[in-house]
Structures are given as C-alpha cells and as structure tokens.
C-alpha cells in the first residue's frame, strides 16, 4: 500500500506558491466531492423514504449512512490539507461505518424481496386453486 506521508501536498516550503495537485490530488479531490454528493443524495433519499411509517425503517439508517460518508469526505479533505494521519484514520473508520450500514440494508432488502416473492407465488397459487374449483385430481 502506498505511504500517504510521502505524498507531497499543500504549499511548497520556500516559495509559498501552490503546488500542482498531480494525478493523485485530482483523483483525491474528485473522490471527496463524489462522496459528499453521494452522502447528500443518500440523506435526501432517506428523508423522502421516511415519509411513510414503514419506509422509516429503511430511511433512518440511510440518513445516518449519508451523514457518515459526508463526515468521511470532510476527514479526507482535512487529511489532504494538513497531512494529519489521525484524520485519515477517522476518515476510513467513518467510511467503513457507511459501508456497514449499507451492507445491513442490502441484506434486509434481499430477505424482504425473497419473502415478497414467496408470498406472491403463494397468492397466485391460491387464486388459481380457487378459480379451478380446488379439485386437482
């Protein structure tokens, strides 16, 4: 893994002129801005999902996930500007929490989808049985 401490960031020591960001800096800036956008969109989607009582079960964790990814983006930006290793660690921790929340929501969604399919198939079976008179012999 690349050592983040040896990556030149910030202002040059002698000239105080801004340094060119380079490929890593541009990718880093794009990543943090994408994280902020995804976080904001996740928060908005979670708030809209919370408009129904049943949707609040999914919406509230989405809001928290959006907040975590935005906080992670802020910590990455702090790391980039101050080269603070603690900020980098906090950023990865908050990003990890975001992925854990989404992982749980995906598993719940898959389970609910399977239950929905089973209920739907059983309802169709019941409907077809009632239409044919229930005599399969």
Task: Write out pLDDT tens, residues 16-31.
Answer: 444 556 787 788 889 9
% of the chain exceeding 90 in pLDDT? 55
pLDDT surpasses 90 at 115: yes
CB count in 10 Å sphere of residue 87: 18
**3 — pLDDT class (breaks 50, 70, 90):** low
* Confidence at residue 80, expressed as pLDDT on a 0 to 100 scale: 87
Q: State the average pLDDT over residues 43-67.
A: 92
Q: State the average pLDDT over residues 93-119.
A: 93
d(CA 44, CA 66): 9
CB 70 within 8 Å of CB 39: yes
Q: How far is CA 50 from CA 57, 61, 87, 100, 127, in A?
A: 8, 10, 32, 20, 34
How high is the mean pLDDT of the chain? 84
């Amino acid at each position: 893994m690349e050592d983040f401490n040896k990556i030149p960031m910030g202002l040059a020591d002698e000239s105080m002129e801004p340094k060119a960001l380079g490929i890593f800096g541009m990718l880093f800036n794009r990543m943090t801005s994408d994280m902020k956008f995804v976080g904001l969109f996740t928060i908005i989607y979670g708030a809209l999902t919370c408009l129904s009582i049943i949707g609040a079960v999914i919406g509230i964790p989405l809001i928290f996930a959006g907040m975590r990814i935005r906080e992670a983006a802020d910590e990455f930006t702090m790391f980039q500007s101050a080269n603070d290793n603690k900020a980098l660690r906090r950023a990865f921790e908050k990003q990890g929490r975001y992925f854990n929340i989404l992982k749980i929501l995906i598993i719940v969604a898959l389970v609910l989808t399977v239950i929905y399919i089973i209920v739907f198939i059983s309802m169709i079976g019941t409907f077809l049985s009632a239409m044919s008179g229930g005599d399969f012999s």
